[in-house]
Structure 1
């Protein structure tokens, strides 16, 4: 591993984090809530660290797979640790472990929180909380590549290690331009939602922070009761639509811009995502009506649509406490936590494309039993998938369940009920945020021990960067010079 190159690129990454703190600094200066110094000190600390790392001169600028994984793994841990400083220095979160949890949850777009009283926090802190969603949603390293092409030759290795999904393709030949296109689409979607929420009657500041959380599929709200605080049908509809849109592969929006509408609608992962989403909404809607949870079809559809979109896109906003719903509805929501959004989106979970590949691979295995001499390939969008990709998807399922199981065992030492224990690990690993029972939409993660909060923080980072970069660091072979 080229350690000097890794450290220098971490310095470039910290430059972007320092820049991303400036909007929160400005807002803290405008509202004068007493959090200005915490942002200023954090920016100074990060700037000094970045200058030290940038002074390192690597022998080679080529980034190889091992270097890319190291940059991504250490980068996400580093930005989460430093991103916790404003929370801690402003005393909004007195415990650094809690601040690290909140920061990790923000950057990984999980939206799990240890805060029970949110509305009294300074405006700058609340904005930083939501802005971490927006920065982490598309990927802070993808943002770094877009802003600073000097990351070096082989930046594709970084993008592959950070971007969600089994396959990462460039939209155009130049990677830097690909990153800029993705962030341009991301920015335009955010601005459009801000505009629509303002028209719907939400205050400008509220519209900005909730749009950052929606498009980044994060879910940190500035209200204790989340989106339910506004009790507005139009606001619910707007956020529901944008949560669904944010769970779709952003590369598909580029196809629309290029006029390739047929390719968009024929994309198999998109169709699977919309199908699962629609079926889940209808099942829960009818279940809510049968259980007399809501009296009218329209009301049941409104609340089921919002909660299903929030869970499947891994956003985590809430307009209802689904802990009060039936077991049937809660089981569907738990299943959606596993599935998540599409590859190339800001959503979490295992991703629809992996389930698509998994089920097609399973079908081929059954066909080989019937016709042993038959040749079967997994095809996605009429293109054959190579054996390595299919194998990697199957391995990903095994590693995901292994991490999930280990997480459940560690968290079980808290002595919580089984629903809280299992769903808390699932919600953090899939970057959902709220689970069920004590960590449901009306609860939080404050009751867990410091060990559990650190475990959750690492699990959130593992889930956000698709497991491999962190797990690979544990292999002795990773550290050997070949």
Structure 2
């Protein structure tokens, strides 16, 4: 295990985190909130100190860096970044319990949006900004950002693919261009441009600038931390519709946008995962709209709320315009299913991913065909290309790990005595990085009622879900740390 090179990279991650805290510090100073400003200064100082210590340890680091180091490095980076990133919440006294502060920032970085706060409007703008910005930073991934800005042959030289594969969501990570650093740069340029366009359209709806920035951060990262107690419900129908559109856009594989830039429109429309994604969205909106007949005053309002919540749940954003926990059971069942499915691979969304669902369905069909015709050779194809059997094996292993972790987490947090629906939806919500669940953790409630033990379980679930399970499992594996 190349500990020194890992230390160097983690130290750079923490340095990036300190830099990204500066706008929140500036906002606290602008608002003359010296308590919060001091909390950010202390948090930045502690983070910088750890970064300096790790950098000093990494001197004379050798360049050998392989898949195991990449997975472990990503997992440790996210954990350390969260342990230090929550300090402003805790030191300012706005979240006086450290585990609660950790839950909040992990929920932010993993773009989950599950909160322990009973209400948010009393909190300082600096804290709300850092809380929302954590979504934007975690959406594409801070390591991808670092790969985009790292000079060639520098700290990222030689192992960029291992890091990008470990942090990027989806069953497979490919290169948009031959050099991984250029791929990371293209991803972030598209991410920034879409965020800016989102802010522009929100401002056209007379949304205050601070609200527009924080809302766009949550939409872009598919996170869902609102700065209003009712999430997006109090904003105009226009703003709600803008959020609906951009949530869906950020749930699309970013390679599709790259293909559009390259004028390969036909390849985009032929993408099987993209077609499945929009078919699921359209079908869910239609079914929920029909199920909600008479629930709202007009057809327009019914369609708007149905479209918003379907977009919010399938992209794992978690914003809300209505208390869908009051909807009929059929509509809630659809939303619960969308929690599992999730958005496209290579997007900022969470969940199982439409790409994996597609591969699992094709694998199931092939297995049925093998039972009927044992001698027939059947190759699974995706977008007219043969799928490597290793990808299918990884997809099956991911599904097995997914089911086991959800089951054990559900059993573990059930010790707190909440209802089965509450506990199951809480685990699905956190593991799939969604935010709201049902009943006691519904869109008008929060996770504050859970015990410290349950919150720690849900924190692990959020990290495992965002990092696609395997980095966390490898980090916890005894064989990872054995010297050979």
| 1:40 alignment partner in structure 2 | 41
| 2:238 alignment partner in structure 1 | 234
Deviation of the 1:280 alpha carbon: 0.4
Q: TM-score, normalised by structure 2?
A: 0.98
Aligned counterparts, 1:7-26, within 5 A: 7-26=7-26
Which has the larger displacement, 142-151 or 111-120? 142-151
Aligned counterparts, 1:143-292, within 5 A: 143-149=145-151, 150=154, 151-230=156-235, 232-289=236-293, 292=294
- What are the Cα deviations for residues 205-249 of structure 1, in whole angstroms up to 9, with x where unaligned? 10000000001100001000000022x110011000000001111
The SS at the match of 1:319 is coil
The SS at the match of 2:94 is coil
- What are the Cα deviations for residues 58-99 of structure 1, in whole angstroms up to 9, with x where unaligned? 542132001001111111111111110010011110000000
Kept in 1: contact 2:2–2:64 (CA 8 A): no
Kept in 1: contact 2:251–2:315 (CA 8 A): yes
Kept in 2: contact 1:62–1:152 (CA 8 A): no
Q: Distance in 2 between matches of 1:170 and 1:16?
A: 24
Gaps of 5+ in 2: none
Q: Does residue 1:432 correspond to 2:453, yes or no?
A: no
Which has the larger displacement, 35-44 or 245-254? 35-44
Q: Distance in 1 between matches of 2:255 and 2:205?
A: 29
Match for residue 60 of structure 1 among 59, 62, 70: 62
| 2:297 alignment partner in structure 1 | 295
Q: Distance in 2 between matches of 1:474 and 1:116?
A: 33
Match for residue 416 of structure 1 among 405, 415, 418: 418
Which has the larger displacement, 40-49 or 26-35? 26-35
Q: Distance in 1 between matches of 2:183 and 2:39?
A: 35
The SS at the match of 1:226 is coil
Q: Distance in 2 between matches of 1:229 and 1:457?
A: 30
The SS at the match of 1:329 is helix
Q: Distance in 2 between matches of 1:62 and 1:282?
A: 53
The SS at the match of 2:258 is helix
Q: Distance in 2 between matches of 1:203 and 1:437?
A: 32
Gaps of 5+ in 1: none
- What are the Cα deviations for residues 322-344 of structure 1, in whole angstroms up to 9, with x where unaligned? 01100000000000000000110
| 2:326 alignment partner in structure 1 | 324
Q: Distance in 2 between matches of 1:135 and 1:248?
A: 18
Kept in 2: contact 1:340–1:430 (CA 8 A): yes
Q: Does residue 1:71 correspond to 2:76, yes or no?
A: no
| 1:366 alignment partner in structure 2 | 368
Kept in 2: contact 1:338–1:430 (CA 8 A): yes
Quote the RMSD (CA, aligned, Å). Answer: 0.9
Q: Distance in 2 between matches of 1:366 and 1:318?
A: 40
Kept in 2: contact 1:105–1:113 (CA 8 A): yes
Q: TM-score, normalised by structure 1?
A: 0.98
- What are the Cα deviations for residues 244-264 of structure 1, in whole angstroms up to 9, with x where unaligned? 001111111011111111111
The SS at the match of 2:232 is helix
Kept in 1: contact 2:406–2:428 (CA 8 A): yes
Q: Distance in 1 between matches of 2:267 and 2:243?
A: 26
Q: Distance in 2 between matches of 1:117 and 1:399?
A: 35
| 1:378 alignment partner in structure 2 | 380
